C-alpha cells in the first residue's frame, strides 16, 4: 500500500499526473507546462479526476483512491493540458487501419477455466464490435495474431511489472500492438461481488487495445479505476461516442434502424437457436427476439461477422445434437442468393464466418441442388438430423447424406400457404413448434393433427409483426400515402393562408 510522499510522487509520475521537467529533451511530450510541475498541482489534478476535494494535500480519501484496484494504463498520454474538457472520452493518436482484427489467448491462467476466459473475452470483443465497423475474430489456431492476450505476474518482460493482488489489475497496449496482460495473482471471478470481475476488466482493456485512453467520466467503462462488480455491465454512452470517433460506422442516408412495424418490413428468413433466441431477417437487418422476450434490431453484418450480402433468403441453426454432413456443432448457416455462409457460434453470442466461406450453394449442398435443379431456396429448416429445403410449392428432405424426391408442400404440410417466405422450427420445453411465414402473415403447424393449428378465438394466418414483434399497429402503404397527402394538403392550405395575410397587410397597412 502506498503511503509516503515519495511513493505517491512515483505513482503520479507513472500515471502522467506529474513529470520531471526536462527542457533539454527533443521529445515534446517531455516538456511539461509549469502549472503541472508541482506535486501539489498534480495531487489537485488527481483529486479532480476522481471527484475528490481539491486540496493538494495527501489526505486519507486521496490515499484510498490512489490505492484502489485499477488499470495499469496511464490516465493521460502525457501530462494533461488545463483546456481538457471534463467528463469526456479521450482518444489515442493511434488506431487500427485494417477492417478485421484477430485475437488469441497465448497464455491462460492456471487458476480459472479456459472456457470461461474465452467466453468472456468473446463477449467483450462483441460488445465493442457491435458499435463500430471493425470485425473481430477469435483465431485459436492462427500463428499470426493482432492482439495477444496473456495471464502473467510481476515482471513479465514489458517494463510494466505487476504489483501483486489488489492493485494494478491489468494493462494493455495501444494500436498497432494492442496486446492485453492480466495479472494472474488477482482473484478473477465471473459472477458475484467477490474478487475482480474478469469481463469488466476485459471490456476496459480491449478499449485500450482499440485506441481509447482513460475517460474522465467516472461512470464510463474506460474510467481508470475498477468500480466493483456491476450487474449487466455494458458500455456507457461516453465509451460509445469515443470508439465511434475512432472507427465510425459506415452510416449512409437511410441507415437508421428500420420500423419493424412498417408493412414494408418483410421477413425473408427465420431460425432459432438451441437456447431459445429467434432470428428474423429482412433486407440487411436482423431482428433478434431473445429468450427473455427482449428485442434487438441490428445490421446483419454486425452480428454475423464477415457477412457482406445484401439480404438473407434462408437460415438454419444446428445445435450440438445435430450433426448433418459431420459438420462442427453450433453452426448458423445463412443462404444469400446462390451462396451459403457458415458461422460458428462460440459459448456466448458471437458468430464468426468459418474459413473458406462463403461458397456457392451448389458446392456446399450439391446433394440437394443437383436433385432440385436450383441453387436458391425460399427456406431451410432442421428437424433433428434432417434438413428440409423449400422452393416454390415443393420441398426436399436431406438426411444421412441422402436426398428425397420432390414433395409437394400441400401433401405434407396441409393448410400451409405456399410458396413460403421462411420457416421456423422452435423448441420450447421439449415440444417442437413449426411456423411458416408468407409476406406479412404466418401459420402454426400442428404435428398432432397434421395440419395448420385451429384457434377459433384467434385464427390463423396471423399478422407476423403484431404477434412476433408486439406491434400494436402495422403501418400500411395506404396509410403512409394518406398521411403524405394530408401533409401536402395542409402545406398548400397553409401557404395560401399566409399569402392572404400578406396581401391584407400590404393592402391596408403599408403606406401608399
438-455: pLDDT as tens digits: 988 999 999 889 999 999
469-495, pLDDT tens digit by residue?
988 877 664 555 554 444 444 444 555
Query: What are the residue boundaries of the structural domains of the chain, listed by start?
Result: 5-67, 100-246, 269-468, 482-512
Query: Would you tell me which CATH number, out of the four given (2.110.10.10, 3.30.70.2740, 2.40.180.10, 3.30.465.10), belongs to the domain 269-468?
Result: 2.110.10.10
71 is in an annotated binding site: yes
Min mean pLDDT across 86-100, 213-227, 420-434 is at 86-100
Report the relative pairing of strands 196-197 and 269-272 from DSSP bridges. unpaired
pLDDT of 250: 62
122: closest CA among 108, 148, 104? 104
Min mean pLDDT across 22-26, 286-290, 422-426 is at 22-26
184 is in an annotated binding site: yes
Q: Please compute Rg for the chain using Cα positions.
A: 30
214 is in an annotated binding site: yes
Residue 314 pLDDT level (bands cut at 50, 70, 90):
very high
Higher-scoring residue by pLDDT: 348, 85: 348
Higher-scoring residue by pLDDT: 397, 297: 397
CATH 3.40.390.10 applies to domain 100-246: yes
DSSP 328: P
Higher-scoring residue by pLDDT: 179, 400: 179
263 is in an annotated binding site: no
Q: For residues 196-206, b (16+ Cβ closer than 10 Å) or e, as one string? A: bbbbbbbbbbb
Residue 172 pLDDT level (bands cut at 50, 70, 90):
very high
pLDDT of 426: 81
Q: Which residue has the cell 399566409?
A: 498
171 is in an annotated binding site: yes
**Interval 374-383 mean pLDDT:** 93
Out of 205, 216, 344, 353, the active site residue is 205
pLDDT of 419: 92
222 is in an annotated binding site: yes
279: closest CA among 431, 473, 426? 426
pLDDT of 346: 65
As a whole-number percent, the residues of the chain with pLDDT over 70 amount to 80
| Residue 205: active-site member | yes
**Interval 398-422 mean pLDDT:** 92
496-505, pLDDT tens digit by residue?
555 554 554 4
pLDDT of 36: 43
Higher-scoring residue by pLDDT: 502, 462: 462
156 is in an annotated binding site: yes
Check whether 32 has a pLDDT greater than 50.
no
Q: Residue 312 phi/psi, 5° resolution?
A: -115, 125
181 is in an annotated binding site: yes
**Interval 423-430 mean pLDDT:** 80
pLDDT of 493: 54
pLDDT of 104: 95
158 is in an annotated binding site: yes
pLDDT of 86: 36
The span from the CA of 394 to the CA of 409, in Å, is: 5
Higher-scoring residue by pLDDT: 476, 61: 61
Q: Which residue has the cell 510522499?
A: 5
Whether the CB-CB separation of 282 and 464 falls below 8 Å is answered with: no
Min mean pLDDT across 325-329, 367-371, 494-498 is at 325-329
7 is in an annotated binding site: no
pLDDT of 384: 81
141 is in an annotated binding site: no
186 is in an annotated binding site: yes
Min mean pLDDT across 75-84, 184-193, 209-218 is at 75-84
Measured in residues, the chain has a length of 512
Higher-scoring residue by pLDDT: 387, 509: 387
145: closest CA among 107, 189, 198? 107
> Is the previous residue joined to 397 through a cis bond, with omega within 30 degrees of 0?
no
411 is in an annotated binding site: no
164 is in an annotated binding site: yes
pLDDT of 21: 56
**Interval 38-47 mean pLDDT:** 87
Torsion (CA) 135, 139, 143, 147 in degrees, nearest 10: 50
Question: Quick one: CATH architecture of 5-67?
Answer: Orthogonal Bundle (1.10)
Q: Is there a shared CATH topology between the 5-67 domain and the 100-246 domain?
A: no
Residue 345 pLDDT level (bands cut at 50, 70, 90):
confident
Mean pLDDT of the chain: 82
Q: Where are the beta strands (DSSP E) in 108-200?
A: 135-138, 147-152, 168-172, 180-183, 188-189, 196-197
pLDDT of 91: 61
Residue 393, C-beta contacts closer than 8 angstroms, at least 6 positions apart: 408, 409, 410, 418, 419
pLDDT of 185: 94
Check whether 212 has a pLDDT greater than 80.
yes
pLDDT of 331: 86
Amino acid at each position: 500500500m502506498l503511503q509516503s510522499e515519495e511513493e505517491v510522487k512515483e505513482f503520479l509520475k507513472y500515471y502522467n499526473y506529474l513529470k520531471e521537467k526536462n527542457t533539454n529533451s527533443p521529445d515534446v511530450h517531455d516538456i511539461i507546462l509549469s502549472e503541472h510541475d508541482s506535486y501539489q498541482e498534480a495531487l489537485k489534478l488527481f483529486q479532480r479526476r476522481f471527484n475528490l476535494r481539491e486540496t493538494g494535500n495527501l489526505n486519507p480519501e486521496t490515499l484510498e483512491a490512489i490505492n484502489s484496484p485499477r488499470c495499469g494504463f496511464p490516465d493521460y498520454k502525457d501530462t494533461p493540458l488545463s483546456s481538457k474538457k471534463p467528463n469526456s472520452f479521450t482518444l489515442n493518436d493511434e488506431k487500427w487501419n485494417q477492417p478485421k482484427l484477430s485475437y488469441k489467448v497465448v497464455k491462460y491462467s492456471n487458476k480459472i477455466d479456459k472456457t470461461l476466459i474465452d467466453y468472456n473475452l468473446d463477449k467483450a470483443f462483441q460488445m465493442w464490435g457491435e458499435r463500430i465497423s471493425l470485425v473481430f475474430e477469435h483465431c485459436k489456431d492462427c500463428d499470426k495474431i493482432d492482439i495477444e492476450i496473456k495471464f502473467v505476474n510481476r515482471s513479465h518482460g514489458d517494463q510494466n511489472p505487476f504489483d501483486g493482488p489488489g492493485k494494478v489489475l491489468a494493462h494493455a497496449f495501444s494500436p498497432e500492438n494492442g496486446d492485453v496482460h492480466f495479472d494472474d495473482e488477482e482473484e478473477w471471478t465471473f459472477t458475484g461481488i467477490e474478487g475482480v470481475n474478469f469481463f469488466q476488466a476485459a471490456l476496459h482493456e480491449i478499449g485500450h487495445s482499440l485506441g481509447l485512453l482513460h475517460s474522465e467520466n467516472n461512470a464510463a467503462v474506460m474510467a481508470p479505476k475498477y468500480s466493483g462488480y456491476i450487474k449487466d455491465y455494458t458500455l456507457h454512452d461516453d465509451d460509445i461516442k469515443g470508439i465511434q470517433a475512432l472507427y465510425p460506422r459506415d452510416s449512409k442516408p437511410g441507415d437508421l434502424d428500420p420500423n419493424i412495424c412498417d408493412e414494408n418490413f418483410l421477413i425473408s428468413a427465420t431460425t432459432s437457436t438451441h437456447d431459445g433466441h429467434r432470428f428474423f431477417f429482412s433486407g440487411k437487418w436482423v431482428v433478434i427476439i431473445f429468450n427473455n422476450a427482449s428485442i434487438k434490431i441490428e445490421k446483419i453484418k454486425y452480428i454475423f461477422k464477415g457477412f457482406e450480402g445484401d439480404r438473407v433468403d434462408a437460415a438454419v441453426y444446428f445445435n450440438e445434437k445435430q450433426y448433418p454432413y459431420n459438420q462442427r456443432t453450433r453452426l448458423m448457416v445463412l443462404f444469400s442468393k446462390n451462396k451459403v455462409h457458415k458461422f460458428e457460434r462460440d459459448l456466448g453470442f458471437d458468430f464468426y464466418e468459418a474459413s473458406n466461406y462463403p461458397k456457392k450453394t451448389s458446392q456446399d449442398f450439391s446433394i440437394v441442388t443437383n436433385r432440385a435443379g436450383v441453387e436458391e431456396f425460399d427456406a431451410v429448416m432442421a428437424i433433428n438430423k434432417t434438413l428440409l429445403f423449400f422452393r416454390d410449392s415443393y420441398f426436399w428432405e436431406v438426411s444421412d447424406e441422402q436426398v428425397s424426391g420432390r414433395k409437394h408442400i400441400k401433401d405434407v404440410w396441409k393448410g400451409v400457404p405456399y410458396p413460403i417466405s421462411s420457416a421456423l422450427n422452435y423448441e420450447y420445453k421439449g415440444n417442437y413448434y413449426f411456423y411458416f411465414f408468407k409476406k406479412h402473415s404466418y401459420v402454426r403447424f400442428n404435428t398432432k393433427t397434421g395440419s395448420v393449428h385451429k384457434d377459433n378465438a384467434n385464427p390463423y394466418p396471423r399478422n407476423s409483426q403484431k404477434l412476433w414483434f408486439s406491434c400494436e399497429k402495422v403501418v400500411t402503404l395506404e396509410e403512409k400515402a394518406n398521411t403524405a397527402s394530408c401533409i401536402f394538403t395542409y402545406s398548400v392550405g397553409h401557404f395560401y393562408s399566409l399569402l392572404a395575410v400578406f396581401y391584407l397587410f400590404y393592402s391596408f397597412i403599408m403606406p401608399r
